[in-house]
Amino acid sequence: MKCRKSKTAALASILIAPLASAQIQTTPEVETNPASLEPADSQVLDSISMIPPFFSRDAIRFVRISPDGKRLAFMRGSDLMVGSVDEGFHAVQDWSGKVTLTQLEWMGNSALIARLILAGSWSGKPAFVALPISNENGQLLAGERSVFEAVGSILDPLPSDPDHVLFISNDVKDGNQFANVYRLNPFEKIRTQLGEADRLNKNFNRASWYVLNKSKKLFLALDSFDATPRLYKRSPGGTKWKLLWQGSANDRFIPLSLNADDSELYVLTDANSERLVAAALDVKSGQVSRIVHSDPITDVYNVVVSDRSGEPVAAVINRDGLIDYAFLDAALEEQFASIRDQLNAATVIIADIAKSDASAVIFTRTPNSTGTYHFCILASGECAEIGEVRPWLNSNNLATTETLEVASTDGHSVFAFLTLPAVPDEKKLPLIVMPHGGPIGVSDNRHYNPDAQWLAHNGYAVLRVNYRGSSGYGKTFLSAGMRQWGRGIEDDIESATDTVFSKYDQLDKTRVCIYGASYGGYSALQSIVRSPERYQCAASFAGVTDLPLLFSQSVYRRDEELRDELVKMVGDPELDLAELREYSPVYNYRRMSRPVFLAHGTEDSRVDIEHSWRLERLLRMADADVQMHEMTGVGHGFETLQQIADFYEPLMRFFDRHLRPMQ
């Protein structure tokens, strides 16, 4: 399958602290410190011991199918597994300890190349490791050879040239991203530096991404200087690059792959549309020749292109908060329907597809399970299970999540997700409203979310809202969130809250807290300033409390482009200072009449801990109910299960105290 991860909105979404949704690299074990818990809180202790099953990383990850479709490679725990349904899966490499795999690709059918992040690495750069796979008396084995350390990724593993890979670096110069492409033989020698002799883009230095033609030569190049996408074309065999297409500032343009005769480029773009569409661009004229697929509500996220035919066979879309497909190939649609029926799953995702299109790795989920990987023969629809991603969780006890479409106060449609406990222990459920970070260019979905599941496991209903500014719903919706801190965004959150109370009798309107991280933390705090009657408490992790203080960070003082982005999102601290103060929790602390929980990492480089210190100090002066949890060594998110446990242990007490005081 040819596809590329979207790099859109990377700059805009600067205030995201994943709650614990980030993949944590620890096995599902955690040490709690019983001495730190009071005897009366044995229930909390039991509860905290359940953190690892919810928050540890998936048991199975990076499932990759070999080009001939016969073998699979994937991570199971810390083991790299290789094999097939017939020959079984063998652990060929143990990457336990402080090693994190971030990319895995087949090089031909008998070697793999992996990008590893080594904690404590002197250079701090990813290490690329090539692994030839051999079969000795039925036992699969992997050799290991460190190739090089560099910031970047494998652009193409060149499956038809098993001795080489194309590597694309990710460099920054004068605030602009640019890339170099190298053709390397990872089995030839260990490199300390990437050599100029191996660089393919010798006479072109401004592109941030390259597209290969069928001969695996650099053919198209994309740059995004000044946030304006420009596509360049190199004539076959030539050395000069000519501008082929240029968008407008802030247009999104994501090149995917060329068709079989290199005449059309498949792209995702919103250059001439409200939302991201899949389009074909004529590489002779530089014009969009056709729209491959568009969706009336959400962005198109990706396109599945057949390696065999070079044609797009499916567009990846968002339907009710879940990944779904709009099929462009009738045969694949039929095969897919057959697999969906056979596996009886609500969600079926193509995780990887063989170059021959004969077999694929399929990921399935039911509404209350975390998901399972399968290996499927597409023609026959036969599938064999590879494994569950969270086998340690009892699927029957997982909460289900429902999608709601809410009409906002100014006529937008807003999507929200309500997670309800699988086994409610009360007739009326307390609700936790959980706004996401960002606020621009980030969104929630209906897939497994550890924080929502964890809270539901503890008896809370959880409401997450894709308020205005969230990604995936088009340009107008995205820009509608600009400068709406404490205003339109919170209007949307309140509209969604009103809707769930009108639709779900089992929710207790008198027991509601609001909690989030980064922007979500800000939203929680500002929400009890503007609507204290709605909430019993507010909790913030790494939350912004003082909008002008955001601009004090040296990164914004030095980098004008980043500062401009922040101004667009928040407001100008020089021109709009009064407005920024008006919507800052710090300057409104006297209006915060609800209990407040603040948690903040001492190493947070995005939202400095000073934000929480300022608010805490003022609230304490006012003798308000405030609890501050300073987390030494923690950044803008969590890196270990222990950090998550350390965070949730006092937070669950806080919620219990204010939402379930009688228990």
Partner 1 sequence: MYQQKSLLRRHTAIAAFVCALFMADPVSAATKCQRIAIKQIAKFDKQLAKVQARFEERRNRLVDGYLQHIDDTDRRDALAADLEAVVDGFELDDVLSRSREKKSVLTEFIAADEPEACKAGDGSAYIFDRTIEVLGVNHETALEALQDRIDIETVGPNEGLVVLAMYIDGRVMRLTLDKRGSMTGARAFKNVKVGQFFRIIKLPAGEYQWTTVRTSEELTRSYFADRTLYYYDFRDRDLSFKVEPGKLNFTGVLMYSGSGYADIKDRTSIVMRLVENRYPEFLERYPAVNGLVPGDKYLDFFLSEKRSWQEVQQ
Nearest to 538 by CA among 590, 587, 480, 599: 599
Phi first, then psi, for residue 560 (nearest 5°) are: -65, -40
- Which backbone phi and psi does 251 adopt, to 5 degrees? -65, 145
User: Of 158, 102, 207, 216, which is closest to residue 355 (Cα–Cα)?
Assistant: 158
For residue 439, is the peptide bond before it cis, meaning its omega torsion is within 30 degrees of 0? yes
127-136/111-118 β-pairing: antiparallel
| Contact between 529 and partner 1 per CB under 8 A | no
* x/- track of binding to partner 1 for residues 556-575 (CB under 8 A): -xx--------------xx-
Q: Which is nearer to partner 1, 215 or 554 (CB)?
A: 554
Nearby residues of 358 by Cβ (< 8 Å), 6 or more positions away: 69, 377, 378, 379
Residue (of 495, 448, 443, 450) closest to 469 by Cα position: 443
Stretch that binds partner 1, among 177-185, 241-249, 423-431, 550-558 (CB under 8 A): 550-558
Question: Residue 553 CB, nearest distance to partner 1 (Å)?
Answer: 7
Q: Is 172 an interacting residue with respect to partner 1 (CB under 8 A)?
A: no
**Cβ-proximal residues to 178 (8 Å cutoff; 6+ apart), any chain:** 171, 172, 205, 206, 207, 208, 223
Nearest Cα residue to 423 out of 399, 389, 390, 388:
399
User: Which of 445, 553, 642, 643: binder of partner 1 (CB under 8 A)?
Assistant: 553
Residue 619 sits in the site that holds partner 1 (CB under 8 A): no
Burial grade of 93 (CB within 10 A; 0-12, 13-18, 19 or more): buried
The piece of 94-102, 232-240, 402-410, 554-562 that touches partner 1 (CB under 8 A) is 554-562
Stretch that binds partner 1, among 57-65, 222-230, 423-431, 610-618 (CB under 8 A): 610-618
Q: Does 614 bind partner 1 (CB under 8 A)?
A: yes
Give the shortest CB-549-to-partner 1 separation in angstroms.
6
Please select the residue that binds partner 1; options are 149, 608, 646, 656, rule is CB under 8 A.
608
Q: Is 610 in the site for partner 1 (CB under 8 A)?
A: yes
Q: Enter the tokens of residue 537.
A: 């408490």
The tokens describing 649, both together, are: 């242990």
Closest to partner 1 by CB, 444 vs 608, is 608
Nearer to partner 1, 25 or 553 (CB): 553
Query: Residue from 192, 344, 510, 554 that binds partner 1 (CB under 8 A)?
Result: 554
16, 549, 570, 596: which one contacts partner 1 (CB under 8 A)?
A: 549
Q: Cβ closer to partner 1: 355 or 636?
A: 636
Residue 606 lies near partner 1 (rule: CB under 8 A): no
Answer yes or no whether residue 543 interacts with partner 1 by CB under 8 A: no
Q: How far is the CB of 489 from partner 1 (least distance, A)?
A: 24
- Pick from 548, 576, 639, 650 the residue near partner 1 by CB under 8 A: 548
Binds partner 1 by CB under 8 A, chosen from 535, 587, 647, 648: 587
Asked if residue 401 binds partner 1 (CB under 8 A), the reply is no
- If one asks whether residue 632 binds partner 1 (CB under 8 A), the answer comes out as no
Tell the smallest beta-carbon distance from residue 169 to partner 1 (Å).
23
> How many degrees, rounded to 5, is the angle at CA 178 between CA 173 and CA 184?
120
86 binds partner 1 (CB under 8 A): no
Residue 617 interacting with partner 1 (CB under 8 A): yes
Q: Which of 5, 621, 632, 661 binds partner 1 (CB under 8 A)?
A: 621
Piece of the chain touching partner 1 by CB under 8 A; list 101-109, 186-194, 602-610, 648-656? 602-610
Coil vs helix vs strand at 110: coil
Contacts of 122 by beta carbon, 8 Å cutoff, 6+ apart: none
Q: Is 546 in the site for partner 1 (CB under 8 A)?
A: yes
Residue 87 CA: distances (Å) to CA of 71, 75, 77, 139, 388? 9, 17, 20, 9, 20
DSSP assignment letter at 91: E
Query: Which region among 5-13, 263-271, 561-569, 617-625 touches partner 1 (by CB under 8 A)?
Result: 617-625
Q: What gap in Å lies between CA 536 and CA 596, rounded to an integer?
A: 10
- Tell me the window of 126-134, 403-411, 416-424, 580-588 that interacts with partner 1 (CB under 8 A): 580-588
Instruction: List the one residue out of 473, 371, 459 whose CA is nearest residue 414.
Output: 473
CB of 581 to partner 1, least distance (A): 7
Other CB atoms within a 10 A radius of the CB of residue 511 amount to: 22
C-alpha to C-alpha distance for 593 and 605, rounded to whole angstroms? 30
Nearer to partner 1, 330 or 578 (CB): 578
For residue 600, the minimal CB distance to partner 1 (Å) is 12
- With CB under 8 A as the contact rule, the residue among 7, 498, 577, 663 that binds partner 1 is 577
CA dist 506 → 394, 406, 421, 515 (Å): 24, 19, 11, 20
**Residue 613 near partner 1 by CB under 8 A:** yes
649 binds partner 1 (CB under 8 A): no
Site size for partner 1 (CB under 8 A):
24
If the CB atoms of residues 389 and 567 are measured against partner 1, the closer one turns out to be 567
Binding span for partner 1 by CB under 8 A among 138-146, 246-254, 426-434, 614-622: 614-622
Q: Which of 265, 264, 274 has the alpha carbon at shortest distance from 299?
A: 274
Minimum CB separation of residue 14 from partner 1 in Å reads 17
> Residue 432 in contact with residue 457, Cβ under 8 Å?
no
Stretch that binds partner 1, among 38-46, 60-68, 354-362, 544-552 (CB under 8 A): 544-552
Task: Give the Cβ contact number of residue 342 at 10 Å.
Answer: 14
In 3D, which of 565, 523, 570, 526 has the Cα closest to residue 547?
A: 570
* Alpha carbon distance 266, 65 (integer Å): 23
Binding-site member from 278, 393, 618, 651 for partner 1 (CB under 8 A)? 618
Residue 543 or 573 with smaller CB distance to partner 1: 573
Contact in structure between 129 and 114 (CB atoms under 8 Å): yes
Of 449, 451, 454, 486, nearest to 467 (Cα)?
486
What Rg value do the Cα atoms of the chain yield, rounded? 25
Q: Report helix, strand or coil for 218.
A: strand
Shortest Å, Cβ 608 to partner 1:
5
Nearest CB to partner 1, comparing residues 118 and 624 = 624
Q: Cα(360)–Cα(377) distance, rounded to whole angstroms?
A: 7
Q: Which is nearer to partner 1, 43 or 552 (CB)?
A: 552
For residue 41, what is the DSSP state? G
Of the candidates 42, 380, 409, 552, which one interacts with partner 1 according to CB under 8 A?
A: 552
Among 561, 622, 633, 663, binds partner 1 (CB under 8 A): 622
Task: Specify the 3-state DSSP secondary structure of 447.
Answer: coil
| DSSP bridge pairs for 417 | 403, 464
Given the rule CB under 8 A, which residues bind partner 1?
546, 548-549, 551-554, 557-558, 573-574, 577, 581, 586-587, 608-610, 613-614, 617-618, 621-622
